[in-house]
Chains A and B, each alone.
Chain A
Amino acid sequence: MDEAALIEQAKKGDVTAYNRLVLAHQQVVYNVAYRIMGQPQAAEDVTQETFIAAYKALHSFREGSLKAWLLRIATNRCYDELRKWQRRPQSSLDDLAEENESFAFLRDPALGPEEQQQRVELVQAIERCLQGLPADQRATAVLCDVEGYDYEEIAHITRVSLGTVKSRLSRARSKLRDCLQGVQELLPAAYRLGNET
């Protein structure tokens, strides 16, 4: 059954049809939430809230991409949650990011222990740099460079103009470049950034 038909059925109260849509999109929603929040538990909460809110507001979804609509809800939830964190700082993101458990997914039996460790460190370094960005720039960088959306889709998801997307992305990349230059030793040789500017 195609997505439009599932949406129509879900609008009529068919939770099973809606759950099929959830299964189709939960991966991307969770990943975007995780990259923006930087914490698996927070990403999990945001993802669940996103699907609940989307179900409740399904009648307001008219046309277009359901995935983009879900990501819009998810990024808004992330912003809300980050604002709450700013008001009531909770546990340090760095501490949580360093939990080995959260990087268990990176373990690859084909790689040796040293390579695996390097891989984990690389991912940690990139994620730490991402977390150093302001939330709006982080969301833009995640959507463009991690998830591979184009400018127009990002503008639609984040409800900003195309010019704002370009501007945020450019600033985000400049800051990421500066941050990654500071952790050169962790980067694979092919990705070491030159020092000349």
Chain B
Amino acid sequence: MFDFLRNWTKSAEDKHQEAITAYLDNALSPAERQRFEQQMAQDPALQAEVAQQQQTRALLRQLPPRQVPRNFTLDPALYGRPARQPLITYYPALRAATVLTAVLFFFVIGLNLFMGGSASMAPAADMAVSQLTAETTSEEPTAGMAFESAPAAAPFSVEEPALEEAASDSAAIELAATAAAPLPAVPTPAATQAPEAQTAPLPTATVSNLPRPIATEVVAERAATAEITAPLPTQPETDTAVTNITPPIEAVDILTQPQETSTQTPAPSIDLLAVAPIGLLVLLALLSILTLYARRKLP
């Protein structure tokens, strides 16, 4: 398997000696043999070396075979039926399984690193959406549903209370939504937030690794600041300042609710990619032990 590596590291002298050996044993290809013979015809030193090796080989062949001192037959009284030895029988399969598991293990490790690396490049808006989608879908179905319709409702034509609730539920969602959804026809300060949300990515890996309440806090903080700078798109611009002020308070209230509930019952999020290497490592260790044991049992 690693012959190419051995060939690569071999010295010129080793290669020279191997060529002589292979020539004497007829192990060269016709082309190699012809090349070797041409070289030999021009090089008397090589001829001498070949002759010496040939003599050495002939001397070894001179060794007479030894007669066996006795018969090595087994006593039928002592040896019964040979028992099946599954570990020996399945040794090739065990070895193959060990190699496969090792390959899979390193593949998953590589995949984990790759996914981790690419995830950290995701924009903050995507993070906020994914984080809050998980919360809303698991804890507040109506808000979740409203959020799902939020991108479509981003233009100001919608005045349904559910949408208002959704909008006030998390301004961060809106922030995220503005990144994905069409911008409002009427220019609002939220529009100025959009580039920020797009260009300033959150350290995703950090956020995703944070405990849920802390992540929610970060999002809530962002949502609160966004509310202050960006009035809700569902509110007409001609509305009084009261309407502009009240929703952020509601938003904060509502946003803090999931935060509390999430501290009580953290959502179970089992990352398969994080668990798989551990499982594979355990399997690899077991298979390696079995393979080594079977190898020792080999006759």
Q: Are A59 and B69 in contact (CB under 8 A)?
A: no
Q: Does B299 contact A (CB under 8 A)?
A: yes
User: Which residues of the partner chain A approach B45 to less than 8 Å between Cβ atoms?
Assistant: 196-197
Q: Are B91 and A141 in contact (CB under 8 A)?
A: no
User: Which of B1, B10, B72, B85 is in CB contact (< 8 Å) with A22?
Assistant: B72
Q: Are A173 and B57 in contact (CB under 8 A)?
A: yes
Chain A residue, CB-CB nearest to B13: A174
- Chain A min CB distance to B63 (Å): 5
Complex interface residues of chain B between 46 and 92 (CB less than 8 A to chain A): 48-49, 51-53, 55-76, 79-85, 88-89, 91
Chain A residue, CB-CB nearest to B2: A161
- Chain B min CB distance to A136 (Å): 14
User: Which residues of the partner chain A approach B91 to less than 8 Å between Cβ atoms?
Assistant: 60
A163-B73 contact, Cβ under 8 Å, with A59-B84, A122-B62, A126-B63: no
Q: Does A23 contact B (CB under 8 A)?
A: yes
User: Which residues of the partner chain B approach A171 to less than 8 Å between Cβ atoms?
Assistant: 14, 17
User: Which residues of the partner chain A approach B18 to less than 8 Å between Cβ atoms?
Assistant: 166-167, 170
Chain B residue, CB-CB nearest to A181: B52
- Chain B min CB distance to A67 (Å): 14
Q: Are A55 and B59 in contact (CB under 8 A)?
A: no
Per the bound structure, the CA–CA distance linking A40 and B14 in Å amounts to 34
The interface bits of chain A over 153-197 (1 if a CB of B lies within 8 angstroms of the residue's CB, else 0) are 000000001111011011101101100100000010001111011
Q: Are A173 and B56 in contact (CB under 8 A)?
A: yes
Q: Are B299 and A59 in contact (CB under 8 A)?
A: no
Per the bound structure, the CA–CA distance linking A151 and B28 in Å amounts to 12
Per the bound structure, the CA–CA distance linking A144 and B2 in Å amounts to 22
User: Which residues of the partner chain B approach A187 to less than 8 Å between Cβ atoms?
Assistant: 59
User: Which of B1, B48, B53, B84 is in CB contact (< 8 Å) with A196?
Assistant: B48
- Chain A min CB distance to B23 (Å): 11
Complex interface residues of chain A between 119 and 154 (CB less than 8 A to chain B): 122-123, 126-127, 130, 141, 144-146, 148, 150-151
Chain A residue, CB-CB nearest to B80: A13
User: Which residues of the partner chain B approach A88 to less than 8 Å between Cβ atoms?
Assistant: none
Q: Are A26 and B68 in contact (CB under 8 A)?
A: yes
Complex interface residues of chain B between 1 and 27 (CB less than 8 A to chain A): 1-3, 6-7, 10, 14, 17-18, 20-22, 25, 27
- Chain A min CB distance to B157 (Å): 74
Q: Are A145 and B82 in contact (CB under 8 A)?
A: no
A163-B61 contact, Cβ under 8 Å, with A13-B80, A170-B21: no
Assign chain A's interface to a size class: 35 or more
Q: Are A57 and B298 in contact (CB under 8 A)?
A: yes
User: Which residues of the partner chain A approach B17 to less than 8 Å between Cβ atoms?
Assistant: 170-171, 173-174
Main secondary structure of the interface of A (DSSP, over half): helix
Per the bound structure, the CA–CA distance linking A76 and B89 in Å amounts to 18
User: Which residues of the partner chain A approach B89 to less than 8 Å between Cβ atoms?
Assistant: 59-60
Q: Are A106 and B64 in contact (CB under 8 A)?
A: yes
User: Which residues of the partner chain B approach A193 to less than 8 Å between Cβ atoms?
Assistant: 52, 55-56
Q: Are A170 and B20 in contact (CB under 8 A)?
A: yes
User: Which residues of the partner chain A approach B22 to less than 8 Å between Cβ atoms?
Assistant: 166
Chain B residue, CB-CB nearest to A48: B72
Q: Are B72 and A26 in contact (CB under 8 A)?
A: yes
The interface bits of chain B over 20-38 (1 if a CB of A lies within 8 angstroms of the residue's CB, else 0) are 1110010100000000000
A105-B14 contact, Cβ under 8 Å, with A145-B61, A151-B25: no
The interface bits of chain A over 95-123 (1 if a CB of B lies within 8 angstroms of the residue's CB, else 0) are 00000000001100000000000000011
User: Which of A23, A34, A145, A164 is in CB contact (< 8 Å) with B57?
Assistant: A145
- Chain A min CB distance to B74 (Å): 6
Q: Does A93 contact B (CB under 8 A)?
A: no
Per the bound structure, the CA–CA distance linking A146 and B56 in Å amounts to 11
- Chain B min CB distance to A8 (Å): 12
User: Which residues of the partner chain B approach A123 to less than 8 Å between Cβ atoms?
Assistant: 62-64
Per the bound structure, the CA–CA distance linking A176 and B6 in Å amounts to 23
Most chain-A Cβ atoms within 10 A of its Cβ — which of B49, B63, B88? B63
User: Which of A23, A126, A146 is in CB contact (< 8 Å) with B71?
Assistant: A23
Q: Are B60 and A126 in contact (CB under 8 A)?
A: yes
A-B contact pairs, 13 of them (CB 8 A): A12-B81, A16-B76, A27-B68, A29-B72, A30-B69, A123-B63, A141-B60, A162-B3, A163-B3, A164-B3, A167-B18, A196-B48, A197-B48
B→A interface (CB under 8 Å): 1-3, 6-7, 10, 14, 17-18, 20-22, 25, 27, 45, 48-49, 51-53, 55-76, 79-85, 88-89, 91, 298-299
- Given A60-B298, A173-B17, A197-B52, 9 extra CB contacts under 8 A: A11-B82, A29-B72, A31-B65, A76-B299, A105-B64, A105-B66, A191-B58, A193-B52, A193-B56
